[in-house]
Amino acid sequence: MSHPDMQPSWIDAPHRCASLGRFRLESGEYIDDLLMSHVVHGDLDDRSRPIVLGVCAIGSTHHRLDFLIGAGRAFDPARVTVIVADALGNGLSSSPSNSATQGGSSFPRFTIRDMVNSQKALLDHLNIDALDAVAGASMGGMQALQWGVSYPRFMKKLVALVPMAKTTAWSQAVNQAGRRALETSGDWRAWLAIMHVLAMRTPERFEEDAARAGGTHAWLDKRAAWFRTQRLDPLDWIWQSHAYDAHDVGTTPGFEGDTARALASIEAHTLIGVPALDLYNPVEEGVRAAQQIGNATLLRVPSTSGHMMASEADAASAAQLNAEIASFMGYSRESAS
């Protein structure tokens, strides 16, 4: 996947790629030559500054958290350095679509813990031995919680928006429907109807979006045209969705499948944000994780946008999240307004 077309709200930071050699996966298989795509906002050479790692959602790139980065936002590059890492399988870091030696279906399956471990390898490559925080939304929020379990003393804080600690049967069924739309017809429009309407939005939010677009079919046509500019490879998304389905922090080595005990092991102060309703990652999963982490704050955002609450697509929620995260990180609310 080449870099998707720039969008007006995205930050045009220099795109970097680290070649990290042979990388062992949880399965015992290897990625022949791990490539870790990433961007840096701020001054990485100034190690007196706090460093935040941003991690991205399923099917997205390092631009996924741009709504939280910038002057006056939660992560202001004038005061903190932000490294945003592209996840395995997103077409920029090592993926089925871009591997020179393991392309297509020969690319090994990977897990969310493999994503986290590849990000740790990137930080080691950059000589970073501690973080102020790890932040992410959706699959990024799931990675953030996994960071807290896998590397409990590596960061001070976690920001996990619309996360799950263990993928629900509901979420697995949603992903399976998305996979079938791609595998049987290769039809992005059908996939969009499943993933970007039924999963990502609430009925109330889609009613508004469809009305602005001129109707349901007009919205789907416009969204499909926009999505083509993102150049996502179907197999990349399918491979990431399998990692999504299999996730459970409780299967981290040492926890014998005990999700609650794994969450209780998190030492970082954790902020978990959830909307009123989420038809992809059920709200109850975020609430349960906040209850089981010893030092956690649950933020309920009164959004009717569903899973999209944690994105630039909901301006009011984005403003609240920037203020709340800035406060959580120790910044003044005024600086994030």
* Within-domain flag for 5: no
Residues 99-109 pLDDT 10s: 999 999 999 99
Report how many domains make up the chain.
1
Lowest mean per-residue pLDDT among 123-127, 187-191, 290-294:
187-191
pLDDT at 186 > cutoff 80: no
pLDDT above 80: residue 74: yes
Question: What's the whole-number average pLDDT of the chain?
Answer: 95
Identify the band that residue 332 occupies on the pLDDT scale cut at 50, 70 and 90: low
Asked if residue 269 belongs to a domain, the reply is yes
The residue from 94, 138, 265, 311 that is catalytic is 138
Strands 296-300 and 51-55: unpaired
User: Could you tell me the end-to-end alpha-carbon distance of the chain, in angstroms, rounded to an integer?
Assistant: 35
Tracing tokens 């790692």 back to the chain, one arrives at 53
Predicted confidence at residue 267, as pLDDT, reads: 98
The residue-averaged pLDDT of 56-65 equals: 95
Domain carrying residue 41: 15-336
Cα torsion angle, 310, 257, 108, 124, sign = positive
pLDDT at res. 188: 83
Among 278, 305, 311, 317, the active-site one is: 278
Residue 325 in contact with residue 68, Cβ under 8 Å? yes
Does residue 2 belong to any structural domain of this protein?
A: no
Domain membership flag for residue 83 = yes
State yes or no: is 125 an active-site residue.
Answer: no
pLDDT, position 262 = 98
Out of 307, 311, 314, 317, the active site residue is: 307
Two tokens, residue 307: 């899973």
Indicate which CATH number applies to the domain containing 279.
3.40.50.1820
Whether 233 is catalytic: no
* Percent of all residues in the chain with a pLDDT value above 90, rounded to a whole number: 90
Confidence of residue 150 (pLDDT cuts 50, 70, 90): very high
Does residue 307 have an active-site annotation?
A: yes
Would you say residue 10 lies in a domain?
Answer: no
Residue 4 lies in a domain: no
**Which tens digits make up the pLDDT trace of 258-293?**
999 999 999 999 999 999 999 999 999 999 999 999
Overall size of the chain counted in residues = 337
Q: What pLDDT, on the 0 to 100 scale, is given for residue 297?
A: 98
Give me the mean pLDDT over the 170-182 stretch.
Answer: 96
pLDDT at 1 over 80: no
Domain annotation covers residue 111: yes
Domain contains 79: yes
- Residue 196 DSSP symbol: I
What is the Cα–Cα distance from 52 to 134, expressed in whole angstroms? 6
